[in-house]
Structure 1
Amino acid sequence: MRWNWKQFVAVVIIIGVSWMLVHLPVISHYIYTLKSHSIPVISNGNSLLEEIKKKAELYSIPPQDAKIDPIWKTVPGYNGLEVDIEESFNNMEEDGVFDEKKLVFHQISPKKHLEDLPPAPIYRAHPEKPVASFLINVAWGNEYLKDMLSTLKKHDIKATFFLEGKWTKNNPEFAKMIAEAGHEIGNHSYSHPNMKLLGSEATMQELKETNEIIRAVTGVTCIWFAPPSGSYNELTVKKAAELNMRTIMWSVDTIDWQKPAPHVLVDRVMSKVHNGAFILMHPTESTSVSLETLILNIKKKGIRLTTISEALKEKRMFR
């Protein structure tokens, strides 16, 4: 197709006008702005993502396997932390700068767990976990139980009560009260003997009879056993394990059976309380009067009070 002179002139005019429009100051500035803003966004995004990837290792914490320690015996595992790079980037993308407060983590489970370990006593939860547990051994002290339960309820604290079998049989209403309040219940033998001196058959009798009574009265199947006076041997621990119970000891002792003055008891506990602490107590007047002060002071340390079962979980907790 051949153009005539009118068509040729029209094309030249269109090209000329287009060139002029593109080079007008307003249009030129608009095009420059688009270019100058689009490139840095991509660059900053990639730069931020790379920075998060590089720093992720610095903020990550490896998980810790459950183990048998020569001193502390059973030590539960503890979850590690790993940076979620994608979610962390999404949190920081709008501002375009790295901010450690906006890092997102997920927990990493250890390879070896409590159930993978051979039977051995447990004296505490993981020493890095900011928790503590009240271990309340009950074979007497009915007159102080209601006040202690009331204080625990007031502060929304769940404890682990170890009930003697004979006591449970004679005081089913108290045992039910403890269970209905949501506290954890463990086995404290039937007749409070020196377990270390018992043979295989007598040990099993003490443990089994107590489990049966507690189950009949409260509906609870015990998974924890606390030997009276902390007296046990390898046979004790083994027989408890055969009944699917782990043996529980303590790391902080109120020594409340000596009837100390409340301030003495509080000072004794607070000078020794630590992450993962198992705090031994009984329903005594000293403990009943001191309990609220203990709860408040332990909380001030950033330590959460919970049951043994919760304390021994691998889930990482923060102050």
Structure 2
Amino acid sequence: MNFKIWAAGCIISFFLLGISLAFISTSDRTASVSGTDDLYEEILAKKKDYEKKSENAAVDRVWKKTPGIKGKSVDVAASYKKMKKEGKFDPDLIVYKTVNPKVSLKDLPPSPIYRGHPDKDMVSFLINVSWGEEYIPEMIKTLTKYNVKATFFIDGAFAKQHKELVQMIQEEGHTIGSHGYLHKDMAAMSEQEASENLKQANDILFALTNEKVQWFAPPSGSFNNSTVQAADQLGMETILWTVDTIDWKQPTQEVLIERVMGKLHNGATILMHPTQVTADSLPALIERIKKDYRIGPLPVLLSEDR
């Protein structure tokens, strides 16, 4: 036989064998998750009950800049593979795929932020600091005891005078934001004046923490569009609140706690200050909140994770 003809025949035979094996392999994989399997069909039928759509970040008419939230879809093939061992549908064995939003906070124009996503069962403590240094150690001790991380918005002048407190807050793992410099009325400033004020505070905070300031809470909640623009140009988000303890008026512990609990909601931001009544109320307040919500630092509250 001609060698070339024999060699060509061998090549063709191997090629056809490869196709056959590939076909068999593909057929086996298809059969393992085919629509003829009752369990597979059950997962297909029920998957919509367990899936959640992602939502984009958006600028709400009332609540302004609002973070998006990730969705989750059921990985039918992977779920089937896990449940097949048990031989029945089990929600605890569902395998999910994460669905990311297409629009994030960073994609939105400058705007203040009041809350986290309304589907997120988490709240966050915002502690504005420009006085009350005598109450901060006790508050930090309580937060540490209950494993709660808060966000401290610290006035630059205060930080300059109480460096050890700023470093204590950072060492305990809390987020540090800016409260401006000298508790000025930001709404009365031009964009340039606001920028200079924020830079002055940021320089001090960075020198103490070696971390870039990403969050800014206007003193007394007073701001205008120029304030928000100035913060944005410095890479900061402007943060307000949805629940106010009004602790600076020195209410009773009962009034402060009920004031918070009566207005609590998913994604809530809870404003407080270092005062005696806040320090005294914090343990009971944390215990009450934790019955229905998780308490997380602002960056976690505003993240897209569920």
State TM-score, norm by structure 2.
0.87
Q: Which of residues 157, 169, 176 in structure 2 aligns to 1:178? A: 169
What's the offset of the Cα at 1:46?
A: 1.4
Count matched residues: 275
**In structure 2, how many angstroms separate the alpha carbons of the residues matched to 1:111 and 1:43?**
32
Instruction: Please identify the structure whose Cα radius of gyration is greater.
Output: 1
1:304 aligns with 294
Give deviations 1:10-49, integer Å, cap 9, x for gaps. xxxxxxxxxxxxxxxxxxxxxxxxxxxxxxx999981211
**In structure 1, how many angstroms separate the alpha carbons of the residues matched to 2:185 and 2:92?**
53
Q: Over the residues paired in the alignment, what is the CA RMSD in angstroms?
A: 1.6
Amino acid at match of 1:268: R
1:114 aligns with 105
**In structure 2, how many angstroms separate the alpha carbons of the residues matched to 1:43 and 1:243?**
55
Instruction: Classify the secondary structure of the residue corresponding to 2:199.
Output: helix
Amino acid at match of 1:310: V
What's the offset of the Cα at 1:286?
A: 0.8
2:159 aligns with 168
**In structure 2, how many angstroms separate the alpha carbons of the residues matched to 1:141 and 1:148?**
11
**In structure 1, how many angstroms separate the alpha carbons of the residues matched to 2:35 and 2:178?**
61
1:133 aligns with 124
Structure 1 spans left out of the alignment, 5+ residues: 1-40
**In structure 2, how many angstroms separate the alpha carbons of the residues matched to 1:223 and 1:74?**
15
2:236 aligns with 245
**In structure 2, how many angstroms separate the alpha carbons of the residues matched to 1:201 and 1:57?**
52
Give deviations 1:279-311, integer Å, cap 9, x for gaps. 00000001000001111111101x111111011
1:159 aligns with 150
Instruction: Classify the secondary structure of the residue corresponding to 2:197.
Output: helix
Q: Which of residues 204, 223, 232 in structure 2 aligns to 1:213? A: 204
CA contact (8 A) 2:217 2:240 kept: yes
Structure 2 counterparts to residues 185-224 of structure 1, below 5 A = 185-224=176-215
State TM-score, norm by structure 1.
0.83
Relative to 1, partners in 2 of residues 1:314 and 1:44: Cα closer, same or farther, differing over 3 Å?
A: closer
Structure 2 spans left out of the alignment, 5+ residues: 1-31
What's the offset of the Cα at 1:100?
A: 2.6
Instruction: Classify the secondary structure of the residue corresponding to 1:156.
Output: coil
Relative to 1, partners in 2 of residues 1:83 and 1:287: Cα closer, same or farther, differing over 3 Å?
A: same
Identity of aligned residues (%): 46
List structure 1 runs of 4+ shifted beyond 3 angstroms: 41-45
**In structure 2, how many angstroms separate the alpha carbons of the residues matched to 1:225 and 1:159?**
14
2:74 aligns with 83
